[in-house]
Structures are given as C-alpha cells and as structure tokens.
Chain A
Amino acid sequence: MAGFKKEEISRIWLSFADLPPAKMAAILDAYGSAFAYFTDFNQKMWELLPIGAYNALTRLHEKEALVKELDTLHALGVQVLTEPVSCFQDILEPPMILYALGDTTLLQAEKVISIVGTRKATAYGKMMAQSIGEELAKQGVVIANGFARGIDSAALEGALNGGGRCIAFMGCGIDSIYPPENRELYRQILDKGGLIVSEYPPGAPPSGHHFPQRNRLISAVADGILLIESKPDGSGGTITVNHAMEQGKEVFVLPGPVNNELYRMPHVLIRDGARLVTCAGDILEDMGWERTEEEAPETELTQAQGQIVNLLSQGDASFDEIAEACRQNAGDLNSNLTILEIMGIIKKSAGRIYMKVKR
C-alpha cells in the first residue's frame, strides 16, 4: 500500500461502490472520514447500501483484493486527488475523490470555458465548436467538457489544433476510452499537456448514470460554459447548463436555425438571458478577458475564389450548386475549393457540401 495514506485508500475503496454523490457525501458526513467508515464497515451494512455497492465494498474490504486495485492504480500512473480542489469546494456535491491522468494544475487554471452540446450534432454545430474551441485555445483559454461524441469531441479537437490544453471529464474510468473512436483524441490531450479526470475508479464502465453526474464538474471547473446544440429535454447539455446556473457561471449559447429542434433549447436559454455567442471574441469580451490580436495574414483571393466565398456566405452549397451559380468549370472549381479549404476559409462536410468558416 505504498505511497497512499489511509484516508486515500479508504476513499479509493469507497469509490468502487459507485454510489451517487449525495449518498457518498452523506456517509462522509456521518462518519467524519472515509477511513472511519472503512474501519466500521461490517456485514450489517447491507441494509443501508445497494446490493452492488455492498458486494463491491465487501470484496475490496479484503486486504489482498484492495492491494491489487492499488497496484493497478500505481501501474497506470494515476494521480489520486482526495484533498478538496478549490473549484469544486463550493458546489452542492463536491467529488469525494478524483482520478486523474496528466496535468492536475489545470483544475486551477485561470481561464476555463466548457464547450458542451449534443452527441448527434449537425455539421454546422461541429464546425462552430471546432472553430470557437480553436480561437479560445489560441487566447490561452483551457477547454473542458465530457469527451463525448459530436460537439464535445469537435471542441476538444479545435482546442488542440489551436495549441491549447484541455480537460476531459470521463463518464468511465480514466483508463478506458469512451467513445472508442476518440482514441487518438485521448492520446493527444495527454500529449499536449491536458488532463483526463474522472470520479470513477479505473476499470469503471461508461454506465448511463455516470454521465449526468460528471456534468456538475464540467460546469464547476469552468468560468463559463458554451452550449452548442442540444436536444430539447433532459439532455446532458441542459443538465450542465442547469448546474452552471446554480453555480453562478456565465452561460453562453450559440444560435442556429429556428426550425431545427437542436436549437429550440439554446434559443429558449437566450430568451431567458443567456449570452448569445457568434464567435470566440464574444466570449472573451463578456468574460472581460484580454485578447491578444494575432494579425491575420492578408490572404489574396482570386476573383473566382472571391466569388465562391461570397456565395457561401449566403449559405452552405454543394459542389454542383456552386458550379452552377459561379459558372466555373469543374476542374477549376475543384482546385479553388481546395485552396480555400487549406486557407481555412471554407470547410467541406459530408455530401460534399461546403460552408464558410470565417466571417
């Protein structure tokens, strides 16, 4: 049990019970410390605990089994945080324990924005998440979220592109990568000095109830949260926004087409007083953060390229539509589109539909 204090070990032990945060808080309150609970733990406890939690705790109450788990932690190089972290101190149900990989000082970072949203995002939503993530990262803002598919992944990817650092709150153990297609993203976050963090012990599966729980941390760590697209009711995005409002954080919302149900909730929030955001600059301004202007390299566009950009600023268009409207032959249009894409002015999405990125 080298390297761990008694209280730490007790909390690790307790975290395997996978209890709701409120229940854990209640236990700590009643016993004063996790260690006290550990010492006091006996067969009569089964009446007070869910059967799964009771079984897990009983199994790990044996020294051998517990040592094995600790060895795993050690082998994975996991940092265990049991001391209260400043940003989580004031929230309703602060985490009893955090497992982390990477730079834990990020939790105290000066500027943190959480960018969250739906998993089934539109191409527009993902593009905006990525570009705002990138711009904010360039200004030294740390981007945090739940590492989910869709908006979350796009924002993290953007932040990494912008040379920024990220915090990912996992809904499973930090050693498992969920969703699995984000393996590369996971690796990059760590490579680029980011942080992967979770309340759940290594090996914990991505159970459904973990995700809403970790949302309170996503909002707590941030100075403000940006919601991009969200299903109308009970979605993760909405939960995070509610936490943010309870915790007194700034809420930013990206507007979108009113006929898309993914924007119903965001628009309601705007009407209720959330800040409407169209670019990273809006967030910086509202937060009162200084902005280091990066002189954008003047890009010279040819007439044909300018024509394409003008067309796309009126809305997305497919290749054939652009060819029709701009009267360019397919060969030239192909090369112009590539050049604009590389300049980062436009972006291609599924179905060969092009959209404008920069305003």
Chain B
Amino acid sequence: MLARIPGFSVTGVEGFPVIVEAFVSGGLPSLDVVGLPDAAVKESRDRVRVAMINSGFTMPIGRVTVNLAPADTKKEGPAFDLPIAIAILKASDQIIVKELQDVILFGELSLDGSLQPVKGALPMVISAHQQGFKGVILPVGNAKEVITVQGMDVYPAENLKDVIYHLTGRERIAKQQQKSYEECLLETVFPMDMAEVKGQTGARRALEVACAGGHNIIMIGVPGAGKTMLARCIPSILPPMTYEEALETTRIHSVTGALRNQGMLTARPFRSPHHSASVPALVGGGSKAVPGEVSLAHNGVLFLDEIAEFSKAALEALRQPLEDGVAAVTRVNAKSAYQAKCMLVASMNPCPCGYYGSKNKKCRCTTGEIRRYLDRLSGPMLDRIDIHIEVDSVPVEEIRATGSEESSKTILERVQAARKIQLERFKGTAIHCNAQMDNKLVKEYCRLDHSAEALLHAAIKGQNISMRGYTRILKVARTIADLRGAKEIGMNDVAEAIQYRSLDDKYWRN
C-alpha cells in the first residue's frame, strides 16, 4: 500500500511543502530514502526504525522505499523523521490514519520515540497556513514559537505514540491555546533597565536621541566606563516591535535553531558578536547560506563591542547590509537574502592603552598610536554612524548611591512620542525614522532658521566638522526637535547635535 503524508521544509526563511511517500514491497528487508536527502535525513532511517520499535510497532519485513517529493529540491535536517515514521506505519497497514486532513507533521525522533524540536518551525507553520493547511502536529519544544500564528490548529506532541493515538482517533492531543501578539507583548521581560545605570547623564541622553531617531551610535570610553551596560539597555527604550516585525525576526531566529523551547520574540533582539567574528558569522554564509549576526539583529540592536578590534574585512562586509537592510548571501548551492534592518551600536576605547582622556589614569599612547587606533574605523563605516559620544567612568560613590535614575519606561514614552511624529512625517514613503532620510529628504525636512544656520556654520569653521558630518548633524537635530515635539529645528537642537560628533574633534589628531 502507498502512503502519503504531508511534511514541510525550509529554504532561507520560507517554508515549502514536502510530501513524504512510503511504499512497502516484497524483497530483501531494506529502507531507502530518496528525493535529495542530506546526511541528517538519511540518518533518519535508523532513528525511525528504532523509534517505531520502542513505541510498540515493528519495522515491516520487506523493501521499504521513502520518497520526499518534490524530488528535485534538497531536503535537510531531521524534521522528516516524524512524517517518515507515520508514512511507513501507514504503508505497512499498522495504523489507519483518520485525522490527517490539511494537517502537516514535522519533528525529530529520539530512539525512545520522543519528539525533539527542530529548526525553522515558525516559517514552516506560517507558510503552511498561507498555503491553506489548517493544522500542524509538532514537537512540544516548538509549540511556543508558533503561539501567535492565528488560524492554525497546533497540536504539540510529546512522542510518536501521542501522534499515532491522535491520528488513529484513539486519543486526541489537546490543541494549544493560541495567543494574540498583544498578550505576548505583555510578558516581555528586558534583561536590563535604564534605572540600573547610575550617573552617565550625557550618555543616557545620547542613547535616548539615538533610539528616538533610529540613529546608529558609537560610544567611546575608558575600560569599565559602562559602555556595554548602556548598550544592553537599548532594547528596553526602543518602541516595541509590531507583529510583522516580530514575525520577521522570529523567523530568522527560528531557521538558525536559536529558539529551542523559546516562544515568539517580543523584545527586540540584542546581538553582540565577539570581535573575533568572521565575515560569514556576521553577514551570513556557510554552504547552506545561513543568516549571520546582522540578520539575527534584524529589527533590533547589533552591538559591536570594541569595534576597533574587529577585522577590517568583517567591518567592511557589514557596510552593505547596514545600508540596504538586507544581507544577501550567495553560495554555490544556496542563495538567500536575509533581512537585516538593525540599529548599530558600537563601542571602543579612545586609544590602545584605553585611558586617553581619563581623569584617573594616565594614557601612555603617542599621538600617532591614537590616530592609527581610531583610523581602524574606515571613513565609510564611520559615515554610517550618526552619533558619537564619549562615556566616562562613574565614580564609585555615585554607583553606590541609592537615588534612583529614570527608568526605561519613562524614556520609552518620550521615544515613542518622537517616533510617532516621524511615522506621520514619512507616511507613504518606505522609511520610518529620521536616520533613514536621504539627502533629498534632509533638505526637505531639516530646514534651519537663520540663527541655527549661523551657529552650524560657525561650528564647521571652528571645529573639524566635515561635510558629511553636516548632514549627520541635521538629521540628529531633527530628532532632537521631534523629542521636544517641535515642528521647526531650533538653534538649541543644532547646538546639541553638534556635541554628538566627538570623533570629528581635533583633540584626537594632535
């Protein structure tokens, strides 16, 4: 008898249906899997056989052929274990499947018959839903990930036996209670809150401005100044992700398998790759073209701690994704474009020894050394960073002081108000925050009155501000005005924005 069971697979961040066919014929006992399976799929023969036996069934005696259709697409991963097992059991008449209308199956089998979570559950379920499937049987470990997908019946199964009981109508698995995204949002917990950051008045303000306008930011400071701590707070003062954003981000995390036993991502991701990261690790790659850190940070924060220590090649490779919001990965056997719209947050020491400009410790670097250190950040890279801020270490007394600082929630309210103004402004265009304005839009929305213009020109003359710094200042000034809720950019807004160009300052150069 021929059995057909619907399964699913993933390419890039999209799922596609795979029909698992099984047929038992006479001949020497064997089990063959055809249809471009990779090593993990081939190995499923052994897992399936043992899992079936340990669940109280037998491997049919005869020649078993399993086909994964369409046969011209590569299949990977152990997600086919479950449909293969069910197909073989059905083909060998050991079970009579009653309940399998418009329902897909996936899951990895353990030798004892229990189901293990797999990569890419969310994209598979979303694609299945779009293609008209009504339900899914999946490992318990993947259930939380798909909790917000509406219109799908989700049956989380513990083991092979549960699935068989369900399919034969003996004992149905309880449907998972799906939740709305709003409900999930309420459960969001941020690892860090701005209230925990003591002092740092200047840096706090800079972060607020950066988040309000979606500006990339670099923090320069002595070791131990609290740059990393500040960066970790950023997700908590960014507006919450919309459902679409959350889906996009969770999908990417899902295909890398980073989500095991985790639910939908509601907090914006915070990724901080180590500075030894390779180019493929950052932008994506490998023979299967998997997403890199910049894509995992999609809709969130990519934090490059000690950015000067990253390899030149890695930083240069980041430029294109940061600009386009998409990381295109091309390999011989695979080609994918992963979304990568993220806010870049970088930190670095002011000099090789780390103490240039410190009040407490003497710097022992020469001017040349400092310059060479800063020059590790190429001009084009620096060009993508709107805000530079110097962070000083906080005196011990202040850290131990009990007075509480402003919490993330209060800051977030102001950020959201500013973002709302921007959404209104860019209605009908592809962009949604000030940082994304191109030169044309800057000209349109960042008009300066006479006094502000004069101030900016005086600053350009006196300080070392380049022409590209000029546009950055205008954008940041626009955000500062938005934070005030003001329509026009005032002189004070420009004046404040000028403070965020630290790296243009002369004292780095001599």
* Chain B residues within 8 Å of A351, by CB: 222, 350, 356-359, 390, 392
Per a CB cutoff under 8 Å, which of A182, A338, A350 touches B498?
A: A338
- As a 0/1 sequence over residues 328 to 346 of chain A, the CB contacts with chain B under 8 angstroms (1 = contact) are 0111111111110110100
CB distance from A314 to the nearest CB of B (A): 15
Per a CB cutoff under 8 Å, which of A153, A181, A334 touches B499?
A: A334
* Chain B residues within 8 Å of A330, by CB: 201-202, 204-205
Residues A179 and B359 in contact, CB atoms below 8 Å apart = no
CB distance from A278 to the nearest CB of B (A): 23
Q: Restricting to A150-202, which residues have a CB under 8 Å from any CB of B?
A: 150, 153-154, 157, 179-182
State which of B113-121, B254-262, B500-508 sits at the interface with chain A: B500-508
Residues B507 and A349 in contact, CB atoms below 8 Å apart = yes
Interface assignment of A37: CB less than 8 Å from any CB of chain B: no
A329, B480: Cα distance in complex, Å: 13
Interface assignment of B431: CB less than 8 Å from any CB of chain A: no
State which of A58-66, A210-218, A317-325 sits at the interface with chain B: A317-325
* Chain B residues within 8 Å of A344, by CB: 462
Residues B496 and A353 in contact, CB atoms below 8 Å apart = no
A81, B61: Cα distance in complex, Å: 107
Residues A319 and B201 in contact, CB atoms below 8 Å apart = yes
- As a 0/1 sequence over residues 51 to 74 of chain B, the CB contacts with chain A under 8 angstroms (1 = contact) are 000000000000000000000000
CB distance from A124 to the nearest CB of B (A): 12
Interface assignment of A25: CB less than 8 Å from any CB of chain B: no
* Chain B residues within 8 Å of A243, by CB: none
CB distance from A307 to the nearest CB of B (A): 16
Residues A342 and B496 in contact, CB atoms below 8 Å apart = no
| Nearest chain B residue, comparing its CB with the CB of A317 | B359
Residues B455 and A342 in contact, CB atoms below 8 Å apart = yes
A126, B149: Cα distance in complex, Å: 64
* Chain B residues within 8 Å of A319, by CB: 201-202, 390, 392
CB distance from A332 to the nearest CB of B (A): 7
Residues B202 and A350 in contact, CB atoms below 8 Å apart = no
| Nearest chain B residue, comparing its CB with the CB of A339 | B495
* Chain A residues within 8 Å of B510, by CB: 126, 149-150, 153-154, 157, 181-182
Interface assignment of A352: CB less than 8 Å from any CB of chain B: yes
Interface of chain A, main secondary structure: helix
Residues B392 and A352 in contact, CB atoms below 8 Å apart = yes
Per a CB cutoff under 8 Å, which of A335, A350, A352 touches B496?
A: A335
Interface assignment of A123: CB less than 8 Å from any CB of chain B: yes
| Nearest chain B residue, comparing its CB with the CB of A344 | B462
Residues A320 and B459 in contact, CB atoms below 8 Å apart = no
Interface assignment of A348: CB less than 8 Å from any CB of chain B: yes
Per a CB cutoff under 8 Å, which of B204, B392, B458, B492 touches A342?
A: B458
Residues B392 and A334 in contact, CB atoms below 8 Å apart = no
A338, B505: Cα distance in complex, Å: 12
Residues A323 and B392 in contact, CB atoms below 8 Å apart = no
A331, B505: Cα distance in complex, Å: 20
Residues A320 and B200 in contact, CB atoms below 8 Å apart = yes
A335 in contact with B201 given A342-B459, A351-B356, A351-B357 (CB within 8 Å) = no
A330, B204: Cα distance in complex, Å: 8
* Chain A residues within 8 Å of B331, by CB: none
Interface assignment of B368: CB less than 8 Å from any CB of chain A: yes
Interface assignment of B45: CB less than 8 Å from any CB of chain A: no
* Chain A residues within 8 Å of B502, by CB: 352
Interface assignment of B367: CB less than 8 Å from any CB of chain A: yes
CB distance from B497 to the nearest CB of A (A): 8
- As a 0/1 sequence over residues 322 to 352 of chain B, the CB contacts with chain A under 8 angstroms (1 = contact) are 0000000000000000000000000000100
A154, B367: Cα distance in complex, Å: 13
| Nearest chain B residue, comparing its CB with the CB of A347 | B507
A182, B368: Cα distance in complex, Å: 11
Residues A350 and B359 in contact, CB atoms below 8 Å apart = no
Q: Restricting to B466-507, which residues have a CB under 8 Å from any CB of A?
A: 480, 483, 491-496, 498-500, 502, 505, 507
Per a CB cutoff under 8 Å, which of A318, A320, A332 touches B492?
A: A332
Q: Restricting to A22-75, which residues have a CB under 8 Å from any CB of B?
A: none
Interface assignment of B199: CB less than 8 Å from any CB of chain A: yes
Known pairs A126-B510, A342-B459, A350-B507; list 15 more (Cβ under 8 Å).
Answer: A181-B368, A318-B392, A320-B201, A320-B394, A324-B201, A329-B205, A335-B493, A335-B496, A338-B498, A339-B455, A352-B202, A352-B357, A352-B390, A352-B392, A353-B359
A-B contact pairs, 20 of them (CB 8 A): A150-B510, A181-B368, A182-B510, A320-B199, A323-B202, A329-B205, A330-B201, A331-B205, A331-B492, A333-B202, A335-B499, A338-B459, A338-B495, A338-B496, A341-B462, A350-B356, A350-B390, A351-B356, A352-B390, A353-B359
